[in-house]
Amino acid sequence: MKKIVFIGAGSMAEAVIAGIVKQGVIEPQQVYVMNKSDDERLISLQNKYGISIVCKNKEALKTADLVVLATKPKDIHQAMSDIRPLLTTQAAVLSVIAGVSIETIENGLGTRPVARSMPNTSATIGKSATGVAMNNAVDETLRKHVLGLLEAIGLVKEVEEDDLHAVTALSGSGPAYVYYLAEALEEAAIAKGISKDVARSLIIQTLEGAAAMMKETGTEPAELRKNVTSPNGTTEAGLKALEGRLFKEAIGECIDKATARSRELGAQS
């Protein structure tokens, strides 16, 4: 992979650029970026990461091996019609745009290798949980390149394209559910007289510790839960309150609704 051109220079493009440059996945000079009009933003990315920029001169697209689509969904049709005449038939595409199908990209840019990913906001600190689906034109070499690029912003799992709706509901929106849980825990702790600072620190460490226990021990979450729950103890009392409020059903409905919304938005794009 000699040349990557980012179409869109926003926060998601920067997350990927930061990851690949910091981890040496590619030399900064091989990374080009363009946007619609914000020249200052391009210069700031160039100064920060040593990458090349493509302003009015879109010639760089003619020799691109990979184009990363990173605009908002509403801008992608315009962006694709702008760049299509400049791309070679070999140029591959990696999209990080939520809800835009591989078919839409093939229609907009012609039949070519396309990978469609769904990262999450933790990409900004290299901790995204990303799902990716690829079309049949992606060969093994390109597949490894794409996975390498996405691994620079966190963990990556390959899925069927249709499953990206559920992935969007789970890990795309997932950080918001965790923040909501953190908010609720913090409010409850403050109501019990714990200071905000102390509550915040304890919550962050509890979330990190629980995630690390699942990851490092490989033990089933249900088993880990049972290990913390002594009969008639405090945890059991707390969990019973959650069961009483149909916690699992609420989470199930949350994923159902978010998946359905992803399908609806996908049908509109």
Ligand X SMILES: NC(=O)c1ccc[n+]([C@@H]2O[C@H](COP(=O)([O-])OP(=O)(O)OC[C@H]3O[C@@H](n4cnc5c(N)ncnc54)[C@H](OP(=O)(O)O)[C@@H]3O)[C@@H](O)[C@H]2O)c1
What residue ranges bind ligand X (CB under 6 A)? 7-13, 34-38, 41, 70-73, 75, 78-79, 82, 96-98, 119-121
Within 13 Å and on the Cβ side, how many CA atoms surround 266?
22
Q: Going by C-beta distance under 8 Å and a sequence separation of 6 or more, which residues neighbour residue 198? A: 189
Q: Which residue type sits at 139?
A: D
Minimum separation from the CB atom of position 202 to ligand X (A): 27
Whether the CB-CB separation of 186 and 162 falls below 8 Å is answered with no
With a CB cutoff of 8 Å and minimum separation 6, the contacts of 68 are: 4, 5, 6, 7, 8, 13, 16, 93, 94, 95, 96, 149
Distance CA 267, CA 269 (A): 6
Please measure the distance between the N-terminal and C-terminal CA atoms of the chain and give it in whole angstroms.
30
Q: Which is nearer to ligand X, 74 or 245 (CB)?
A: 74
Q: Which residue has the tokens 């849980």?
A: 181
- Whole-angstrom Cα distance, residue 73 to residue 98? 7
DSSP calls for 185-200: HHHHHHHTT--HHHHH
Residue 75 carries which side chain, given as an amino acid letter?
Answer: D
Place of tokens 């794009």: 269
Whole-number minimum distance, CB 8 to ligand X, in Å? 3
- Which of residues 11 and 44 has its CB atom nearest to ligand X in the complex? 11
CB of 13 to ligand X, least distance (A): 6
- Point out the residue whose Cβ comes nearest to ligand X: 10
Helix 11-22 to helix 140-151 angle, to the nearest 10 degrees? 100
Q: How far is the CB of 171 from ligand X (least distance, A)?
A: 10
Any idea which residue has 């229609």 for tokens? 107
Nearer to ligand X, 72 or 144 (CB): 72
Nearer to ligand X, 30 or 95 (CB): 95
Nearest CB to ligand X, comparing residues 71 and 199:
71
- Residue with smaller CB distance to ligand X, 9 or 21: 9
Nearer to ligand X, 36 or 84 (CB): 36
CB of 218 to ligand X, least distance (A): 28
Minimum distance from CB of 80 to ligand X (Å)?
Answer: 8
Shortest distance, position 261 Cβ to ligand X, whole Å: 14
